[in-house]
Structure 1
Amino acid sequence: MNPSLSLVQEMDAGCPVYALTWPPFSEVQFPTFKEMASQLNLAIREIQPRGPYRLAGYSSGGILAYAIAQRLLDQDETVSFLALIDVVLSSHPSSVSPTQMVQEVFLESLKVDDERFELLERLSGRSSISKFLEKAQKIGAIPLDRNLHNDILTYERAIQFQRALDSYQVPSLPIEAYQFYANEPLRHRARSRQNSADPEACSPLRGWDRVLSAKAIHAVPIPGDHITMMNVPANRQVLARCLLTALGQSATGAE
């Protein structure tokens, strides 16, 4: 099961929780972050026409949640809760291209020996995602009977999403946020990701104190690294309990 869906189930929030899907995808034109926020804002308001709104996002999805909050505030709506689940706000543009970044994220998910890992690492950023995945399948990193069509589409979307993210200028908003940060570092096998690690990734605030007051960010440690905080059931249960507690505090106005 998708870890995010498992998280929702384990929260037992006592209120409806909605997952926001990918925006419409086109090879010709992919929406900007502001356009995505506007599209998702319309979807949210079809279900709940007026605030207050409560939003959450994991990893780069947290920045999209912030962009949605920006859109809602621009419309004089109230955002009473914003959860950033291990969301890093980098202070400098990455030297790694969106294509290479997505390919290396895929690489990190593979359980392969060093020889095959290094072969695919040399290809990352130098070929299309389809050729990259086909090569991974050819050398046995992906099962030979697996249809790659959906994987290719998903990773192409991720590349376009990363490009939109790179061009988004994160504004300062009059809002408070919870940062549920992983208390263990994520160890990368890919050399370029090791060399381009964000210093903000070491801070519990994850760099958000550049656009928000440090007093407006409630940092909550969660066991595990960026991946295992969601994928390991025991860690995910801690995150679910902490989210519920934070939701209760936002509802009562308690600190």
Structure 2
Amino acid sequence: MNTLCSIGGSQTTTRQSSTPSLPSASASEARPDRSNGSDTVAELQPACKFLHLRPIRAAGSRPPLICFFPGPPGARDLAAALPEDQPVYEIWWPNVDNESRYPSVEELADLFVSEIRKLQPHGPFQFCGYSTFGLVAYEMGQRLLAQGEDVGFLALFDIWHPQFLQSLTPREMARYRILRVIDRLGKYRRILMKGGASEVASNLARFAFNKAKSIGWRLSQKRLSGAGRPVPKPLQIIASIEANKAYVPPPYPRRFILIRTEDLLDRKLKDHAVGWNSCAPHGIDLHFVEGDHGTIKDKPCVHGLVQKIVPYLAATQIQCSEGAP
């Protein structure tokens, strides 16, 4: 196990924001998804009870693990690889079809904290989050700890500190950009050697399309917001990522876990904690696992991730709300 621990010296601060008025998931969105024919989604929770929590596995003796993941397959592969007595829920993000901006990390935390307390009135709480969506898990931990609750487990899966790149010196930024180009060219070369010319073309087209959407959102953001027009559906994922990147994480008052990939580019970064040391006065447990950013939480790479986090998960039973495990 490759682990890096570090201790910072900054003091813990707690930020609060008013509860926003955000759109809720529709009744159909709140229902468990059985489109794949699986019976793993327990029926212990009425569909109308939770608007933003979806049970993947409701039964089990451990405290629930709440996952902050975007899009399908969400946390299904993670849940399947975890011990059978580990309940797993995933956050169901609010519908923003009629909103002119995407909610901030703080607003989402305000929205979700009351929902999670319906499931589990008191700790120990367990949160994990993937990519920038894990920043909401981080803020949720902050909120509940400030309320005197026990947050026994917080794991961030391949998340850079939102201000990590801005903190680099011009020389470090130039080195990072060069390494990124070399890394991308190396991946394409390996795919071509396996006869995957069409895959390379598909990857390049997807990269260009995503870059165009990102530029399009930056150009249209102020105009849409000023006119009160909703965020177009094709730009919603870009809007969510940009909103998450605007988050400034306060120091976390406990030790937490950071999982990163064995990706060659990631390994060459000088700061293996990618900026999180500045928020970790009590240290970070850093682990590297096989896979890249797009595959770390899905099969087959998720099994390596699970091996790292299982020793940290609570094994004690707690009292959840009626109808919950």
Q: What does residue range 135-150 of structure 1 map to in structure 2 within 5 Å? A: none
Contact 1:182 1:229 in 2 (8 A): yes
- Return closer, same or farther for 1:242/1:88 CA change in 2, 3 Å cut-off: same
Contact 2:155 2:256 in 1 (8 A): yes
Q: Pick the aligned partner of 2:164 from 88, 91, 113.
A: 91
- Size of the aligned set, in residue pairs, is 201
Q: SS of the counterpart of 2:258?
A: strand
Matched, 1:48 2:114: no
**Corresponding residue of 1:20:** 91
Matched, 1:210 2:278: yes
**Corresponding residue of 2:307:** 241
Q: What does residue range 2-17 of structure 1 map to in structure 2 within 5 Å? A: 2=73, 4-17=75-88
Q: What does residue range 1-255 of structure 1 map to in structure 2 within 5 Å? A: 2=73, 4-25=75-96, 26-89=98-161, 90-93=163-166, 111=199, 113=201, 117=205, 120=209, 123-127=212-216, 153=233, 155-185=234-264, 203-213=271-281, 216-233=283-300, 235-247=301-313
One-letter code aligned to 2:277:
D
Contact 2:258 2:286 in 1 (8 A): yes
| Structure 1 unmatched runs, 5+ | 96-107, 130-151, 187-197
More helix, by proportion: 1
One-letter code aligned to 1:228:
T
- Return closer, same or farther for 1:28/1:202 CA change in 2, 3 Å cut-off: same
**Corresponding residue of 1:193:** none
Contact 1:60 1:87 in 2 (8 A): yes
Q: SS of the counterpart of 1:175?
A: coil
**Corresponding residue of 2:321:** none
Normalised TM-score (structure 1): 0.66
Deviations 1:16-44 (A, max 9, x none): 21101112313324322111001111111
- Return closer, same or farther for 1:128/1:61 CA change in 2, 3 Å cut-off: closer
Q: SS of the counterpart of 1:44?
A: helix
Whole-Å separation in 2 of the counterparts to 1:238 and 1:125? 32
Quote how far apart the aligned CAs of 1:122 are: 7.7
Q: SS of the counterpart of 2:273?
A: coil
Which protein has greater RCO, CA pairs closer than 8 Å, 6+ apart? 2
Q: Single out whichever of 119-128 and 67-76 deviates more from structure 2.
A: 119-128
Q: SS of the counterpart of 2:259?
A: strand
Deviations 1:36-65 (A, max 9, x none): 001111111010011121110011122111
Contact 1:11 1:243 in 2 (8 A): no
One-letter code aligned to 2:201:
D
One-letter code aligned to 1:162:
I
Deviations 1:177-228 (A, max 9, x none): 1111111136xxxxxxxxxxx9996643232101113x52111121122223
Q: SS of the counterpart of 1:88?
A: coil
| Structure 2 unmatched runs, 5+ | 1-71, 168-172, 174-187, 189-197, 219-231, 317-325
One-letter code aligned to 2:313:
L
